[in-house]
Each structure stands twice: as structure tokens, then as C-alpha cells.
């Protein structure tokens, strides 16, 4: 009985809280203690659609990458009620450079016209452990020697940009090339170039092999390789500086052998100047690239459209709906896609105007962006979920998308098509007014301006009639006993169901899997890879075990396939589920750092469990 009372109390609390909007939460997180030279992630997370991200000053740490932006969206429609959650994150990869305790100030974002600030983050940097010198493989002479034996003309790194006088927001390609006249055994970037005032995108992150070629400078021939290439977009005008890139290079040089001379001139000359006179030895050298200054021009004020939001490049737009005829309270989808080359990830939502009878939810943003050596291109899609609440013929007015065309040097405006939507009367549950949402009035009454005289049968009752001893009185008196008997019957059935372990596991399978994925998300943000893969794998395998009452010891890819096929699950979904299990197990036990695929596999796990649950219903 205590559990029943507690469950009823919690149900009342949930019901009471369901009418309130989601509270905006903007937080920052990072490791509390790092060592000098250690790389770590600084993550700013917000649980709503955000724009205008302003980062704090990161003067105490080296910025290796970022900010990289990611988002995730989930949406459910149950009985024409839509619940939706959006999570945005902005991630930096930093490196500690000196000991001490440092505080990173709050960042800020804009959500629905309001500014929110994150919490400050305090990080303690301790002394790093000394690294053992790496051994070479050339004749036992592998110890690294102090630099100074290789001149700056034999080995250097150079930074260059394809445009030194771009517009604000224009895409600029910065390339880092290493030039060498000596053999290079290995290299590593120890300090990424500082790019304050720029939004950056790595163009060579997926490239495995370096592009090498030969180039002659001042009569000297060099072997040249592109080691880093970024697309950068200036966020403000004026003179902006790209700080030097720092890297360690282990080169191989020839040294004279340390053999003692003999009294035989022929023997000494043969071994000193012949085949055995020189040996290869590894030498470590730290080199810096040149500093690059870019003069960023402001976008012209003349001819700037009022709806211009900062898009710079060369773009096209398309707008489509999944249907133009539907019934009231049914959902439709409108997709607005911006394609082209430029600062796609910085493009904000288009300004669309919907009829007041339409309930419209914040768009789901999908990026299909590719990075090549020539820059960033692709598309960004904004998908709106729209629910007409009343029948009639409606028009969705065209949206205007404005951008600055770099080649033409002028502003251009593109216009989406106009959509005519026919909404038929539904099942009679359409509202008499619509409220909330975007692009709608607070209240709009329909058909209430004229009230007619009531002509139906009147419900009259005699004077001096009372409730006591009436039929209604006896019904109300007997109602508690009837409800109590009904409650006992329901409770008995519930106890019977709880006694069926297989049924209870089936009913709780989705909830248990979501709790495990929630814990995996926590480990994902904390970069705890082993714990993340363990929880994600347990969520997938545990879901199949609980849902189909299969012991964990007998679970396999074949049993998963057979169980899903027995329930007539879609073949494509079965294949996706098994592929997700394979990818998860491979990433879990494969060696190396797998932080880049953690976020992708986490999203895949949520998707396959959600879609499988929908299929099984």
C-alpha cells in the first residue's frame, strides 16, 4: 500500500509539472586535474536551441581545436501531443602549458532572445611526468640529440593562406607545409596555431597519407608535405593574426663513426671515408611556422537586406512539404534546405511565417557537410513539424534567404515557393482556439462572435427538490464501495503480472536501456571511453535479453536476428541493429583512441532501440 501511495503521489507531481516549459540549462565541464602537456576537452552544453555562442578568454591554455558544434534532437508524437528536446554542445580541445590553478570564465549563448551564462570551471594543472627518450632503429644509434645540428634552411614549416584580404565570414584556406632536405622519421604537432576571431574546420582530419611532392626554393630542392589544412571564417573585421604552429620533428642525419684511428693510413682512410665511415642518427628539432596576418574587410552596409543573418558564400535553397492535403490535428513536415559553399554551419533558422491555426515546433537541423582540400561545402536542412488545428484552406508565405555573394560582391536574396495547404475536418476533436507555439497569436477564438438562442429540450427540475434520498444520492453513496472493489480487482491483476518475470522484463526493457544510455552519455561527456563502451554494449544486449526473455549467456548475433525476424521487424532495421552491435563491440575492444566515433555510435544506439520499440508495438 505504501508503494501504491508513493506511485500515485509521483504521478500527481508529474502531471502537475507537465504543464511547465523546459528550463534552459547552460553548463560547462572539463577535467578537474590535468598534467602539463596533457590534452583535454572543455564542453559547453545547453538543452535548448541556441545561437550567438560567445566563448570565454582561454589565455591560460593552448587551443588545439574548436569550438566544434554538435546538436541532437529527439521528438515524439503521442495522441497529437508533441514532446521534443534539443541538446547543443560547443567543444574545445585544450592543452595545459604551465602548472597552477586556473579558472575559465563563463561563456554565453542566446535562447529565445534571452542571454544565458554557463558556470565557471576551475582546473588544476600539475607537473607532467618525464617522457623516456624514444629509441631509433638505425644501427643502435637511436638516442635523440639536442637540436642545432640541422639548420633552418634544411628543415622548416611554412603557413600560407589563399586569401589575405577576405570579407568577414568568407571562407579562407590556411595550409601548413613542411619543407625538408633531410630524411624525417616522424613529426608531431605540439601546439596548434592560435586562431582567435576565427571559426575553424579541419580539412585533413580524415586523410591518412600525406601529399608529398618536390619544390625548388632559391636553387635548393625540398621534399614538401602538407601536414595541416584548415578552412577558417573570420567572425569580425580588422587585422586578425594566426599565431605560429609549433611541432617537434625527428630527422635523421649522418654522423662520422667514433672509431679510434690505427697506425695504418690505408685502413684509416678506407673506414673514415668509405662505406663504414658514416652512421644515421635521430635528431629532435622543434620548429615554428611563420605568423600570418589577415586583413578582414567588413561586409558592405549598402544594400544589406533586413533579414541578412551572416551567410557568406554561394548558396541555393529548396523548400518542400511531405503533403499539401491533410486532416485537422494531423502532422506534416516542411523542409527548408540551404546548399552551397561557405559558412554553412553558421547559418541560422529561416524566417518562415505560418498561419495562426498551425502549431509549429522548432526545426530539427540536419547537416550534410563535406570537407575536402578545396574547402567546406554541402547543405543544411531545417525540418519543421507543423500541425493544423482547424480545417480550411491556408497559405504558407514564401521565406526570404539573403546572403553575400563573394564572387559578385553584392547581397542576393532567394525566395522559397508559396505552399497552399488544404486541411479537412478531422474526427471532431479539433480545438476551438489555438495557443502557444511559434508564429501564432496567444489566443484566437473561432466562431464565438455570435451565440444562438437555445431551442432544444430544457432540463427543468421541480422546486424544493433535494439531493438527499434521491437516485443520485444513493449512487454517490455506493460509488466508494464500487471503486474499492474495482481497485482490488486491478491490484490483483497487477500482482499476477508482476509474478510473471518474463512479462515484467519485457515491459521494463526500454526503460532499463534508456537508463544505461543516459549513464553512457555521462561517460561520453567525461571522455571515459571504457565505461562508455561498457554501458552502451550493456544497453543494446540487455534490451534484447529483456525484450525477448533470452538469457544473456545465449545471446548472439544469430539469436538477435532470429528474435527480430520472428516479430516481423523490418529487415533494414534488423541489419541496422546488428551493425550497431558489431560496431559497438569492435570499438569497445579495438586498441587506440576512439573518441571520434563515440558520439556517432551513441546516437545509433538510441535510434535503433527507439525504432525497434516502435516496430514491436
Give the CA count within 13 Å in the CB-facing half-sphere of 547: 26
* Residue 170, in any domain of the structure: yes
State residue 75's pLDDT score.
55
* Residue 487, in any domain of the structure: no
* Residue 83, in any domain of the structure: yes
Same structural domain, 439 and 537: no
Question: CB count, 10 Å around CB of 67?
Answer: 18
* pLDDT at residue 85 is higher than 70: no
Structural domain of 95: 23-126
Q: Residue 233 belongs to a domain with what CATH number?
A: 2.60.40
End-to-end CA distance of the chain: 31
Same structural domain, 356 and 282: no
Residues 65 and 95 sit within 8 Å (Cβ to Cβ): no
Measured distance CA(28)–CA(577) in Å, rounded: 33
464 falls in which pLDDT band (50, 70, 90)? low
Residues 419 and 321 sit within 8 Å (Cβ to Cβ): yes
pLDDT tens digits for range 227-269: 888 899 988 889 999 999 999 988 877 665 555 555 555 445 5
Sheet architecture: strand order including 184-191? 184-191, 246-256, 278-288
State residue 566's pLDDT score.
83
The closest of 199, 190, 201, 194 to 159, measured between CA atoms, is 194
Same structural domain, 418 and 504: no
pLDDT tens digits for range 303-361: 888 888 888 989 999 999 998 999 988 999 999 999 998 888 888 888 888 898 899 88
* Residue 366, in any domain of the structure: yes
Same structural domain, 319 and 432: yes
List phi, psi (to 5°) of 555. Answer: -70, 140
Same structural domain, 97 and 213: no
Least confident of 114-128, 270-284, 357-371, 501-515: 270-284
The closest of 142, 51, 47, 34 to 93, measured between CA atoms, is 34
545 falls in which pLDDT band (50, 70, 90)? confident
pLDDT tens digits for range 264-305: 554 455 445 544 445 567 788 899 999 999 999 999 988 888
State residue 33's pLDDT score.
92
Same structural domain, 211 and 235: yes
* Residue 14, in any domain of the structure: no
Measured distance CA(283)–CA(144) in Å, rounded: 5
Q: Residue 51 belongs to a domain with what CATH number?
A: 2.60.40.740
pTM (two decimals): 0.44
Same structural domain, 167 and 280: yes
Backbone dihedral region for residue 142 (phi beyond 0: left; psi -120 to 50: alpha; all else: beta): alpha
Q: How many domains does the chain have?
A: 4
Same structural domain, 612 and 504: yes
Task: Give the CA distances from residue 570 to residues 74, 117, 518, 614, 616, in Å, rounded to whole numbers and listed in that order.
Answer: 22, 45, 26, 11, 10
Instruction: Collapse the DSSP code of 254 into the 3-class scheme (helix H, G, I; strand E, B; otherwise coil) and give the result.
Output: strand
Measured distance CA(615)–CA(607) in Å, rounded: 12
Instruction: Collapse the DSSP code of 212 into the 3-class scheme (helix H, G, I; strand E, B; otherwise coil) and give the result.
Output: strand
Three cell numbers written together for 126: 600539475
Same structural domain, 120 and 167: no
pLDDT tens digits for range 25-48: 889 999 899 998 788 889 988 887
Same structural domain, 167 and 111: no
**Domain limit, last residue, from 89, 111, 126:** 126
Least confident of 123-137, 341-355, 376-390: 123-137
Measured distance CA(67)–CA(310) in Å, rounded: 18
* Residue 383, in any domain of the structure: yes
Nearby residues of 574 by Cβ (< 8 Å), 6 or more positions away: 561, 564, 565
Same structural domain, 173 and 282: yes
Same structural domain, 378 and 423: yes
* Residue 467, in any domain of the structure: no
Residues 503 and 494 sit within 8 Å (Cβ to Cβ): no
C-alpha 123: how far from chain center: 24
Q: Residue 574 belongs to a domain with what CATH number?
A: 1.20.120
* Residue 465, in any domain of the structure: no
Residues 558 and 550 sit within 8 Å (Cβ to Cβ): no
Amino acid at each position: 500500500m505504501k508503494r501504491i501511495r508513493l506511485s500515485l503521489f509521483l504521478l500527481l507531481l508529474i502531471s502537475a509539472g507537465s504543464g511547465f516549459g523546459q528550463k534552459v540549462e547552460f553548463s560547462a565541464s572539463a577535467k578537474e586535474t590535468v598534467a602539463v602537456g596533457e590534452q583535454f576537452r572543455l564542453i559547453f552544453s545547453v538543452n535548448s536551441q541556441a545561437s550567438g555562442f560567445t566563448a570565454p578568454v582561454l589565455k591560460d591554455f593552448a587551443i588545439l581545436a574548436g569550438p566544434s558544434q554538435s546538436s541532437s534532437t529527439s521528438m515524439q508524437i503521442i495522441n497529437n501531443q508533441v514532446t521534443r528536446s534539443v541538446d547543443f554542445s560547443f567543444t574545445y580541445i585544450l592543452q595545459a602549458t604551465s602548472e597552477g590553478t586556473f579558472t575559465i570564465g563563463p561563456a554565453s549563448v542566446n535562447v529565445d532572445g534571452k542571454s544565458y551564462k554557463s558556470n565557471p570551471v576551475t582546473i588544476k594543472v600539475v607537473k607532467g611526468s618525464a617522457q623516456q627518450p624514444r629509441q631509433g632503429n638505425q644501427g643502435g644509434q637511436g638516442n635523440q640529440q639536442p637540436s642545432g645540428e640541422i639548420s633552418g634552411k634544411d628543415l622548416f614549416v611554412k603557413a600560407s593562406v589563399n586569401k589575405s584580404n577576405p570579407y568577414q565570414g568568407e571562407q579562407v584556406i590556411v595550409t601548413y607545409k613542411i619543407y625538408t632536405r633531410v630524411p624525417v622519421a616522424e613529426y608531431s604537432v605540439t601546439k596548434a596555431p592560435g586562431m582567435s576571431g576565427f571559426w575553424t574546420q579541419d580539412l585533413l582530419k580524415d586523410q591518412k597519407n600525406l601529399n608529398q611532392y618536390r619544390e625548388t626554393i632559391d636553387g635548393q630542392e625540398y621534399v614538401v608535405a602538407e601536414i595541416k589544412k584548415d578552412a577558417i571564417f573570420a567572425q569580425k573585421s580588422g587585422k586578425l593574426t594566426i599565431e605560429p604552429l609549433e611541432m617537434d620533428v625527428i630527422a635523421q642525419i649522418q654522423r662520422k663513426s667514433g672509431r679510434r684511428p690505427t697506425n695504418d693510413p690505408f685502413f684509416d682512410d678506407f673506414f673514415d671515408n668509405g662505406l663504414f665511415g658514416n652512421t644515421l642518427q635521430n635528431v629532435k628539432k622543434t620548429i615554428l611556422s611563420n605568423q600570418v596576418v589577415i586583413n578582414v574587410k567588413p561586409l558592405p552596409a549598402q544594400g544589406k537586406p533586413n533579414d541578412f543573418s551572416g551567410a557568406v558564400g554561394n548558396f541555393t535553397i529548396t523548400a518542400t512539404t511531405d503533403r499539401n492535403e491533410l486532416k485537422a490535428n494531423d502532422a506534416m513536415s516542411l523542409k527548408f534546405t540551404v546548399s552551397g559553399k561557405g559558412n554553412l554551419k553558421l547559418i541560422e533558422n529561416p524566417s518562415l511565417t505560418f498561419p495562426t491555426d498551425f502549431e509549429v515546433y522548432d526545426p530539427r537541423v540536419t547537416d550534410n557537410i563535406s570537407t575536402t582540400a578545396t574547402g567546406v561545402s554541402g547543405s543544411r536542412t531545417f525540418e519543421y513539424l507543423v500541425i493544423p488545428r482547424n480545417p480550411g484552406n491556408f497559405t504558407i508565405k514564401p521565406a526570404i534567404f539573403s546572403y553575400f555573394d563573394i564572387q559578385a560582391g553584392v547581397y542576393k536574396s532567394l525566395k522559397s515557393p508559396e505552399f497552399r495547404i488544404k486541411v479537412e475536418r478531422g474526427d471532431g476533436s479539433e480545438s476551438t482556439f489555438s495557443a502557444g507555439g511559434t508564429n501564432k497569436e496567444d489566443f484566437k477564438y473561432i466562431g464565438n462572435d455570435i451565440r444562438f438562442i437555445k431551442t432544444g429540450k430544457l432540463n427543468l427540475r421541480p422546486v424544493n427538490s433535494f439531493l438527499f434520498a434521491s437516485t443520485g444520492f444513493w449512487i454517490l453513496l455506493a460509488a466508494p464501495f464500487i471503486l474499492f472493489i474495482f481497485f482490488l480487482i486491478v491490484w490483483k491483476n497487477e500482482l499476477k503480472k508482476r509474478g510473471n518475470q518474463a512479462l515484467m522484463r519485457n515491459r521494463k526493457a526500454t526503460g532499463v536501456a534508456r537508463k544505461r544510455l543516459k549513464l553512457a552519455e555521462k561517460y561520453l561527456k567525461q571522455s571515459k571511453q571504457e565505461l562508455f563502451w561498457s554501458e552502451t554494449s550493456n544497453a543494446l544486449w540487455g534490451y534484447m535479453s529483456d525484450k525477448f526473455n533470452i538469457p544473456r549467456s545465449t545471446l548472439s548475433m544469430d539469436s538477435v536476428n532470429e528474435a527480430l525476424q520472428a516479430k516481423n521487424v523490418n529487415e533494414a532495421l534488423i541489419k541496422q541493429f546488428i551493425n550497431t552491435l558489431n560496431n559497438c563491440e569492435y570499438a569497445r575492444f579495438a586498441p587506440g583512441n576512439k573518441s571520434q566515433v563515440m558520439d556517432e555510435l551513441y546516437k545509433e544506439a538510441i535510434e535503433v532501440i527507439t525504432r525497434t520499440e516502435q516496430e514491436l508495438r
